[in-house]
Structure 1
Amino acid sequence: MTSFRSWLEPVREYTKALFRALRLLWTAAPRETVFMAIAILLQGLVPALSIWISKLVVDTVAAALTQNENLEQVSVVILVAGWIGALLLELLLNPWVEAAQGNINDKLTAHISLLLMRKADTFADLSRFEDSEFYDELQLLQKEVSYQPLNLLQNLSGGTQSLITLVAMIVLLIPLGLWIPLVIAIAAIPQVVVSFQYEKQIWLTLFENSPQARRMQYCTSVMLTDTHAKEVRLFKLGSFFISMYLRAFQSLYQSMRHLRVKQALWTSSLAVMSTLGNGFAFYWVVQQAFKRQISPGSVLLFIESLAQLQRNLEEFVKAFLELYETMLYMQQFFNFLDSTLPMKPCVPGKLVPNPIRSGITFEKVHFRYPDNRLALRDISFTLYPNQTVAIVGENGAGKSTLVKLLARLYDPTEGVILVDGIDLRELNLDEWRQQIAAVFQDFGRYAITLGENIALGNLKALEQPELLKHAIAKAGIVELVEKFSTKENTPLGKQFGGTELSGGEWQKLALCRAFVRKAQILILDEPTAALDPRSEYEIYHHFVELAEGKTTLLITHRLASIRMADRILVLKAGRLIEEGTHQELLQRQGEYATLWSMQAKQYSA
């Protein structure tokens, strides 16, 4: 009973995913789906109709020849016309079915991709994207969305058509003997079950080896794109990454090869049993014909039906197994859509104070990443309105983590963040993030126009050109924009043949996004890391204007640029160890003074 249940459960899950996939198909392309269903039904019945007409023609001719009966030309003409009509119907349907499949595939692929993107967009925090297992699953879903919808269509239509033809063939064979289709079916069932089980194991093995497949893709990307081209050639890294690719391939290949060989052995063995069953049925029909128990047309019907039955059974099993693989993908897809959100925003949530009056307070905040790495410990301080606070510390001190908590890209593991005394988790999340303008160290470089790159900071600027021009002027990048003939409409990025900017120019655009965004809080995470000294000076020249009326958080390793800050927080190993102005911290002769002295000596040298 337990083994039966363990076998039945995957079938139940398969069926559940199949019906849900059909609903998805209907949602994406309802009209095309109706046409496909009618066309598949007709295509499935045409072979049986052709065989039945052939039987009637042979029986009519045989009766005329053996029993000296007059051949009724009208009946023969009608039968031949019917046979031609069935053949013509099949030929006419094929191109229209292919066209409908192409249209459905386009709509279904787009629909699934949109569902993936919309679901990913509902993840309010970063925890899922920094979870390696989730990331592997998401990469697999993203990679296979380019062909799994097509597989679903082809295998669903092909399998359904084969099933209809199978049923029609069985109906034709039943008058010859009910046991004939039963013997053929019983001989074929073990082959279906074994193939079903091995296909599941192959998919699960592929999914378990997803990191290896992703490593192969990564090595290919390193060797075939321009991102790492300079270092690959300078340091002769080609053999290193090729070897890494081969190791990952061998690991994945060995697992898959073992299963495929076992599947082939079992399928071949069971195919012999199926052939013996068909051979016995064929022998019996021939004997019955010699005894004049059945007509010559019935022998022809059996031969053609058996050939169709065998061919369509193989096609049905193949489509069923490939559809099963697709259903495993669809199960992963539906599980992703049904997954719960790690961070559940408070809906509708309390209104964000505007303006913030008493400030933003961190009270005994601890934070531990999903991999159990402790990043912040017992952090307590207050960001007062319209104040500029700089955060300094060595790499790994927790500076960027603190920024993520402020933007509520994570929630504290312990402790609380208060905005005018209100728990940040109780505020409306969308409204809170609208109050934040940020330039992160790993800012995005988007393959869209220059103006659109800036307007990403405030999408209203796409419809308000004056807002865009105002931000360009405030950020001091008028000269950068004017050097292009198409100005704000200049396409950027190599992906679509646009202009590629320098690292510093890209960073200026990222800074310009902060100017175009109306916000109470400004976060600058290493805002001048990619800039030359002149550009850095120009940016900080505009810094006072950019930070005016905002609560500003500045993270930088260049300590010479933070003397304009009202307060400085010094982090070390996830703890807040010092706090004060530039002069106060120098007088304490602590960690900040040490870091300042080290950089000052470099300039002196």
Structure 2
Amino acid sequence: MNKGKGMSNIKVFLKLIKYTWLASPLTFSVLIVASLIFSILRYSEIVVLQSLFDNILKVANGSTYDIMITPILAILVILILNPVAEWLEFLAQGYFWRRGNGYMQSLFHNRINEMDLIDYEDVKKFDDIKKASLGNQEAPNGIRIIVQILFLYLPFLLITALYLISVKPMLVFAIVLIFIPVLVSELIKISDNYDFEDKIANRRRKTEYFEGCITSKEYFKETLVNGSFNYFYSLFVDSNKKFSKEFVNVKNKLLKIAIVMRGVNTLGYLSTLGLLIYYLYNGSISVSQFAAVYYSIDKITTMLKNLIANIGEALAGISTTSFLVRFINEKKEIEIEEELSKTGDIVLRDVSFIYPNANKNALSNVNLRIKAGTSVAIVGENGSGKSTLTKVIMGLYKPSQGEVQYDGKNMEKYSKSSKFTNISAVFQNFIKYKLPAEDNIRISNFSSQDSIGNVSSQINLSFDDLKINNETILSRDFGGQELSGGEWQRLAIARGLYRPHNLIVLDEPTAAIDPIEEANVFCTFKKLSNNRTCIFVTHRLGSTQIADKIVVMEDGKIVEEGTNQELINLKGKYYGLLESQAKWYKR
């Protein structure tokens, strides 16, 4: 197994035990009891069998048949208890997996909720998330098997080993020859599997992505029109070949090791059988002992095979799950939970920001003051840093350098709930939730009992005009109705307005509507945001004149700021952009 970062494999294992116990203490306890019952029943079979053989020999030598009653009754009890124990174990396993899986999923989802937006821009971090998601299914199964190893297999093997020692100590040594090589083989397999998953995560994501470009609804339209199926298929095949090559290399290595270890395992079994025959021949053991021991060897061999298989499955599960446990237990900075006021000025001091794996800053030494209750328009050419700046202002991205202050307090030190309370936003790439129409708006403030009608009417959004009602599912995928781009955009804007806010950010949310309607939307926002801070990003400069201040971005820097008239008089970057766009509308 991998020499994990930040947490040893022992700590990973102990964490998993803790999590599965917390998921359901009762189920955990029932599984332990069921495993112990099975262990006792398996050993009892050997003891009762030897007693039965002894009594059969005694009857053959003239004893009465009465001595056969006790071992026969014991066998009947074992036969009755076996299905009961199997039923109990089956139920415990099922509940154990469901409860454990649900609990581990909740931990994973809660950890995702704590992540920063920038983590999804970081390839390594995104790979960690992908690997952690694979551990969701494996955790409870791995721990369930560990519980059964500890309370079913090991007690049985320990008691049976003591029994064999009482007969002939050398027999235990032969059993070890059966067990050790297979265990070593499994440990090597787990180590290689862990390293394989760690190494191949990025390749796996690429392969899945290329397949999605062929099969998913999201890409199908353009793939079909562009005739790019063969292109994406070739990328998928090539990526899959590289993935398969790594997979085959690992399996070939494991196969060679398994062949050697299986030879040692067979040697152990033959040695055990040979010893039994030798001891019977020289009179060291009786016929009944030979039968019982041979039966126990067969039971032990079966149990060992199951044990080894289970150890391999458990270690594989825990190996994969270790990504999840390490992900869940990553150290997080202590954050302030108290409310962060959004009613004061917002100040950026020497703020710089760089994306992971980028070779230059997206923002460089930005200094800006946004006065409380004012409206600010952020403009600039594509790639100038407009959207990045708004994300830094909102706290979605942490500055690489400098700080963002809300009412004099450094925003970075506060928790997500503190940062985003009383902030609303509408982004250009807003989400089209496949939910009822009303929920698409209320999702921004489900705790409110206010009608959505007020915000809808303010931006001329009418469900009646759209021929839908509050319960209409906005997706044909679920038998509902689809909206046009402009209709979706109005709904997203209503969602942003419905959320309580002292600060609202509009990051080019009006791209699907015409310039005149965009100006009307921004005017509405300014009116509705009276005494609230409003920041909007737009590439249509005709709408910016309503803003109290305009900020002009270029190459991640603020190159101009002022009112519409001040910047026109300056005849700089803003003026040039304005003149350039004016030509679009001249005939």
TM-score of the superposed pair, with normalisation by structure 1: 0.89
| Contact 1:457/1:514 (<8 A) preserved | yes
Gaps of 5+ in 2: none
Counterpart of 1:262 in structure 2: which amino acid? K
Could you tell me which residue of structure 1 aligns to residue 30 of structure 2? Answer: 35
Secondary structure of the equivalent of 2:347? Answer: strand
RMSD (CA atoms):
2.7
Aligned 1:216-227 pairs, distance under 5 A: 216-227=207-218
Deviations 1:263-301 (A, max 9, x none): 222222222222223222212222332344322221211
Asked if residue 119 in structure 1 is aligned to residue 111 in structure 2, the reply is yes
Find out whether 1:352 has 2:341 as its counterpart. yes
- Give the corresponding residue for 1:173: 164
Q: 2:240 aligned to 246, 249, 260, which one?
A: 249
Aligned pairs for 1:275-354 (under 5 A) are: 275-341=266-332, 344-348=334-338, 352=341
> SS of the residue aligned with 1:227?
helix
Distance 1:257 1:156, change over 3 A: farther
Give the conservation status (yes or no) of the 8 Å contact 2:27–2:92.
yes
The whole-number CA distance in structure 2 between the counterparts of 1:17 and 1:366 is 37
Residue number among 58, 64, 85 corresponding to 1:63 in the alignment? 58
**Residue deviations 1:427-463, cap 9 Å, x none?**
67634422322111222222333222212222322xx
Q: How does 1:342-381 map to 2 (within 5 A)?
A: 344-348=334-338, 352=341, 355-356=343-344, 359-372=345-358, 373-381=360-368
Q: Gaps spanning 5+ residues in structure 1: where?
A: 1-5
Conservation of the 8 A alpha-carbon contact between 2:2 and 2:191: no
Structure 1 CA distance, aligned partners of 2:357 and 2:165? Answer: 63
Match of 1:568 in 2: 550
How far the C-alpha of 1:481 sits from its partner, in A, is 7.8
C-alpha distance in 2 between matches for 1:95 and 1:197: 34
Give the Cα separation in 2 of the matches to 1:480 and 1:222.
37
Distance 1:319 1:510 in 2: 51
After the TM superposition, which of the residue ranges 594-603 and 536-545 deviates more from structure 2?
536-545
Residue 346 of structure 1 aligns with an amino acid whose one-letter code is I
Cα displacement (A) at 1:528: 0.6
* Matching of residues 229-240 of structure 1 within 5 Å: 229-240=220-231
CA distance in 2, matches of 1:422, 1:265: 62
1:475 and 1:515 in contact (8 A); partners too: no
What letter is aligned with 1:37?
A: I
| Alpha-carbon distance between aligned partners in 1 of 2:273 and 2:110, rounded to the nearest angstrom | 57
Deviation (angstroms), 1:495: 5.9
Report the equivalent of 1:586: 568
Q: Residue 445 in 1 paired to residue 432 in 2?
A: yes
Corresponding residue SS for 1:377: strand
Instruction: Report how far residue 127 of structure 1 moved.
Output: 3.1
State the alpha-carbon separation in 1 of the partners of residues 100 and 397 from structure 2: 34
The change in CA–CA distance for 1:312 and 1:574 in structure 2 (over 3 A counts) is same
8 Å Cα contact 1:202-1:256 kept in structure 2: no
Distance across 2 between alignment mates of 1:547 and 1:9: 51
Distance in 1 (CA, whole Å) between partners of 2:109 and 2:554 is 38
- Are 1:200 and 2:191 matched, yes or no? yes
Q: Does 1:266 align with 2:257?
A: yes
Indicate the residue corresponding to 2:14 in structure 1. Answer: 19
What CA deviation, in whole Å up to 9, does each residue of 1:86-109 have, x standing for no partner? 122122222332222222211111
**Equivalent in the alignment of 1:492:** 474
Structure 1, residues 101-155: CA drift from partner, whole Å, max 9, x if none? 22221111111111112122233x3232322111111122224413543344246
2:190–2:319 CA contact under 8 A, matched in 1: no
SS of match in other structure, 2:547: coil
Match of 1:409 in 2: 396
Q: Residue 48 of structure 2 corresponds to which residue in structure 1?
A: 53
Q: Deviations over 1:324-376 (max 9, x none)?
A: 122223322221122123x6533447x526x42xx322233222233354111
Q: Give the Cα–Cα distance (whole angstroms) in 1 for the partners of residues 465 and 311 of structure 2.
A: 57
The SS at the match of 1:245 is helix
Q: Does 1:511 align with 2:496?
A: no
> Which residue in the other structure is 2:467 paired with?
483
Q: 1:184·1:274 contact (CA, 8 Å) conserved in 2?
A: no
- 2:45 maps to a residue whose letter is S
Distance change in 2, residues 1:601/1:178 (3 Å): same
Within 5 Å, give how 1:382-397 maps onto structure 2.
Answer: 382-397=369-384
- Distance in 1, matches of 2:29 and 2:563, equals 72
Q: Distance in 2 between matches of 1:76 and 1:249?
A: 65
1:551 — aligned with what? 533
1:44·1:164 contact (CA, 8 Å) conserved in 2? yes
Residue matched to 1:434: 421
1:3 is matched with which residue?
none
What are the equivalent positions in structure 2 for 1:466-481 lying under 5 Å apart?
A: 466-479=450-463
Name the aligned partner's letter for residue 367 of structure 1. Answer: F
CA distance in 1, matches of 2:350, 2:484: 42
* Partner Cα distance (1:143, 1:274) in 2: 33
Between stretches 28-37 and 41-50, larger displacement belongs to 41-50
C-alpha separation between the residues in 2 aligned to 1:235 and 1:44? 64
Alignment partner of 1:76 out of 68, 77, 82: 68
When the two structures are aligned, how many residues end up with a matched partner? 585
Alignment CA distance shift 1:47-1:448 (3 Å):
same
Does 2:180 align with 1:189?
yes
Q: Give the % identical residues.
A: 24
Contact 1:159 1:320 in 2 (8 A): no
| Inter-partner Cα distance in structure 2 for 1:101 and 1:419 | 52
Q: Contact conserved, 1:172 with 1:305, CA < 8 A, in 2?
A: no
Distance 1:107 1:601 in 2: 64
User: CA, structure 1 residues 312+500, in 2 after alignment: closer, same or farther (shift >3 Å)?
Assistant: farther
| Structure 1 pair 9–387 and aligned structure 2 pair: CA distance change class (3 A) | closer
Amino acid at match of 1:114: S
Q: How far does the alpha carbon of each residue in 1:221-266 deviate from its partner, in whole angstroms, 9 at most, with x for none?
A: 2222211111111122222222222222222222222222222222
TM norm structure 2 = 0.92
